[in-house]
Amino acid sequence: MNADEKIWRYLKSAGLNDFGVAGLMGNLFAESGLNPKSLQNTFERSLGYTDDTYTQAVDKGTYKNFIYDKAGYGLAQWTYWSRKRDLYNFARKRGTSIGDLTMQMEYLLGELRAYGLATKLTNAKSVREASDLILLQFEKPRDQSDAVQRKRASYGQQYYDKYSAEAVAAKNAAEQKVAEQKAAASGENSALADVVILSPNHSGKRTHIIDTVSIHCMAGNLSVERCGQLFQNKSMRASSNYGIDSDGRIGLYVEEANRSWCTSSSSNDNRAITIEVANDGGAETGWHVSDKAYRSLISLLVDICQRNHIPKLLWQGDKSLIGQTNKQNMTVHRWFANKACPGAYLYSLHPKIAADVNARLEAKEDEEMSYEQSYEQWKEYMEMYRKELQGGLPAAWSKDARDWAVGIGMFNGVGKDEDGNTMYAWRDTTTREQIASLFYRFARWLGKA
């Protein structure tokens, strides 16, 4: 069991509820990193001690100023002299090191009870409530701003998500649901989807094959889960086949086989895969999207093209080409409704999107052939090429030379053709052994060999 878990269990056994434990632990983490031997960093240099050597020196009694040195120490970074004195005496009474985790937890609980905070942590309604209680009424650091409150509550939330039985059960149930929905969705969808939240908002089976893609912007920074939840709402009458969030995660909402309600056009949505992309910038940025979202968009489009036999993406930025998929197979929402979708940023990236997807599609095609296969194919082509050369007619300018060479026996030919004529393969390539033979025959004709 690690220290975090030990602290969680100890505080739970003391009666605090999950929110109370998490809120307290978030604050202790901010103070000491949950290290009971933690010496306030600014004092490490001035006192010439590390966490460990300070702890040892206090334990051995060689350092005598523990109570009055004003250095924050331990889980809660106890600083004020009377609190350090009480902690010191408590450790002496327990016979433990000043840096002992369990001793400090016991001491801390005693303090919380004395401050009237233990009961409040037993009845806390949220991590934030518990966290603020500790921050504002117990730790009271100099900076108690909203930013610090949120930061400390976010630390607490992490412990809550990790150790609260309820949170863990909810997380398991959510994962289970995703797995079930993935299994229920047919295999005709992208395996790249991180979550599957099937929307009731669709028209059932498409009436057209998939030959188009339509990239949309959410005009907001929704997670794929949040977007999926919105598409659960029937009165919204909206959906998309896929969604991508700013972390680059992909959601499946309407199976590819079905027509989504996305582009304000029945004919477009019957043939297009529709993709909503989250915006990490607002209207003033032209609805910017994150690099992670862009990378996932490219990967998803490559996958869609491959499975649906779309050889490449074509983009002209020409509304009049709608439906002429041999010229343009990407469409945008703004062509079908009075909307900015997909926003200036994604719209201007359409040529790059097509180029990036097509480069990946071509690379994939090459990858599909192994080295041995391409080598075998190259040899086959080489054979074909040489046959072509051998059958090729020689040029007129070389006639005298050819006649002379055949006449003196330098060239014997490579066989006979169907009509019984000798073939000389005049345009074929020459090997080194053939060159040696040519010189040899020439030398013999000269009487030199």
Q: Which stretch binds Zn ion (CB under 5 A): 103-111, 315-323, 331-339, 430-438?
A: 331-339
Of positions 202, 216, 271, 288, contacts Zn ion by CB under 5 A: 216
The answer to whether 427 and 394 are in contact (CB under 8 A) is yes
Cis peptide bond N-terminal to 342, omega within 30: yes
Write the DSSP string, 375-416: HHHHHHHHHHHHHHHHHSPPPGGGHHHHHHHHHTTS---SEE
Regarding 239 and contact with Zn ion (CB under 5 A), the answer is no
Give min distance, CB of 262 to Zn ion, in A: 6
The residue range among 163-171, 191-199, 211-219, 395-403 that interacts with Zn ion, by the rule CB under 5 A, is 211-219
What is the widest separation between alpha-carbon atoms in the chain? 122
Judged by CB, which is closer to Zn ion: 51, or 276? Answer: 276
- Closer Cβ to Zn ion, 216 or 259, answer by number: 216
Q: Does 227 bind Zn ion (CB under 5 A)?
A: no
Q: CA-based angle 117:123:126, to the nearest 5?
A: 100
Of the pair 158, 264, the CB lying nearest Zn ion is at 264
User: Going residue by residue from 94 to 113, which x/- string records binding to Zn ion, judged by CB under 5 A?
Assistant: --------------------
What do you get for the CA distance between the two ends of the chain, in Å? 92
For residue 21, the SS3 value is helix
CB of 216 to Zn ion, least distance (A): 3
Q: Least Å distance between CB 291 and Zn ion?
A: 21
**In terms of CB distance, is 259 or 333 closer to Zn ion?**
333
Number of shown-chain residues binding Zn ion (CB under 5 A): 3
The smaller minimum CB distance to Zn ion, of residues 152 and 333, is found at: 333
Min dist. Cβ of residue 195 to Zn ion (A): 20
The distance of closest approach from Cβ of residue 333 to Zn ion in the complex, given in angstroms and rounded to an integer, is 3
Nearer to Zn ion, 47 or 340 (CB): 340
Give per-residue burial for 328-360: e unless 16+ CB within 10 Å, then b.
bbbbbbbbbeebebbbebbbebbeebbebbbeb
- Is-contact 342 216, C-beta < 8 A? yes
The DSSP 8-state label assigned to residue 283 in this structure reads G
Helices (H) and strands (E) in the chain, counts: 18, 10
Query: CA separation (Å) from 288 to 217, 229, 273?
Result: 9, 23, 21
Contact status: 341 vs Zn ion (CB under 5 A)? yes
Q: How far is CA 139 from CA 16, 75, 418, 421, in A?
A: 18, 11, 103, 106
Q: Interface with Zn ion by CB under 5 A: which range of 161-169, 304-312, 336-344, 439-447?
A: 336-344
Residue closer to Zn ion (CB basis): 23 or 286: 286
Confirm or reject binding of residue 333 to Zn ion (CB under 5 A). yes
Which residues of the chain form contacts with Zn ion (CB under 5 A)? 216, 333, 341
